[in-house]
Amino acid sequence: MSGAADDGARGERGVIAAAVSEAAGAVAADRAPDEQLGLFEAPAGRRMDVEQAAEDHAARRGRGRPPGAANRSTRELREWLMRGGVLPQRWMMDWLLLSVEELAARLQCSRLEAFDRQASLADRLGRYFMPHLAPTDAQGAAVPMVALMVGGQAVNGAATGSAPPWARAFEDVEYQELSDGDAAQSPLDQSPPEENP
């Protein structure tokens, strides 16, 4: 009986081997170049290398505006302003450099008003010399302005008093009046008026 079993196993193996070789032949035939493509000649000249073309284009185009270069519209506006006179910042600086008494005499105002004008000019010019500082905590680390609410409760610790002073600005305020329970009745609890037939 074992001989018949071996013949059956060999028969199955033969069928499987024939199917695999047929499939391999079909795959090889699919990978072969089509006859139609063989009828065309190769293009004359050198072949186009896409990567090389991209590199050539990038080299011709350049790296763009160099770091720190002014925008064209900003540069043109500055040139237009300079043709008409001086820069506004330079004009404000000239007024700021006058003494309070001289500014008061030129503007025909009190020394206090002249000082206020100079303080306003200094405030406007200050942003060109020093940036605004970010808010910081007690250790000097930057503090983002975020109010996180989870389930209607502030998460920053303001309710417990453990929050730093800058986080205590957010307080929950309830505008809904509280009822005494029996006196107030929900509109859903009331029965609809009866209609007469």
pLDDT score, position 104:
96
Give, for all 197 residues of the chain, the pLDDT tens digit.
Answer: 455 555 555 688 888 989 988 888 777 766 656 555 666 666 666 666 778 888 887 777 666 676 777 788 888 887 887 787 777 888 899 999 999 999 999 999 999 999 999 999 999 988 888 877 777 888 888 777 766 666 655 555 545 556 665 555 555 566 666 666 665 556 666 666 666 65
pLDDT score, position 7:
56
Q: Are 167 and 157 within 8 A, CB to CB?
A: yes
pLDDT score, position 173:
61
Alpha helices in 62-194, H assignment, sequence order: 72-84, 88-96, 100-107, 111-126
pLDDT score, position 118:
95
Contacts of 110 (CB under 8 A, 6+ apart): 104
How many Cα atoms within 13 Å fall on the side-chain side of residue 96? Answer: 14
Q: Are 88 and 80 within 8 A, CB to CB?
A: no
Domain residue ranges in the chain: 86-130
pLDDT score, position 174:
62
Residues counted in the chain = 197
Residue 100 tokens, joined? 């309070």
